[in-house]
Amino acid sequence: MSQVGPDAAISNLSEWYSVITKLSAPNWLKDPHIDFWWTVAFSIFSILSLLLWWWIRREKNNIFWISLNQRIYWDFSGALGMVGQAEGAAIFVCGFQAKGINKSSKTIGDLNGHIQSLITGEKFNVFLVANGVPVKPEETNGIPPKSEFLISAPFHHQQNPMGDGTYMPLNIFERNLAEFEFIFFANGKMFSRVFRKAETQFLVNKFRETLIGDISPKVTLKDH
pLDDT tens track for 43-71: 898 999 888 777 666 554 444 555 545 58
Sequence-distant (≥ 6) Cβ neighbours of residue 176 within 8 angstroms: 117, 119, 120, 122
Distances (CA, A) of 125 to 7, 33, 128, 184, 223: 72, 62, 10, 10, 57
Same domain, 36 and 69: no
Q: How far is CA 104 from the centre of its chain?
A: 19
Domain count for the chain: 2
**Residue 25 is part of which domain span?**
12-58
Same domain, 32 and 109: no
Same domain, 71 and 44: no
| Over residues 190-203, mean pLDDT | 92
Same domain, 50 and 100: no
Same domain, 24 and 81: no
Give 141-153 pLDDT, tens digit per residue. 999 999 999 999 9
Same domain, 94 and 200: yes
Cβ(65)–Cβ(56) under 8 Å? no
Q: What is the pLDDT of residue 127?
A: 96
Q: What is the pLDDT of residue 58?
A: 55
Same domain, 128 and 193: yes
Same domain, 52 and 122: no
Q: Which helix (H) or strand (E) holds 184?
A: strand 180-186
User: Can you point out the beta strands (E) in 25-157?
Assistant: 64-67, 72-75, 80-83, 92-102, 112-117, 123-125, 127-130, 133-135, 148-154
Same domain, 42 and 147: no
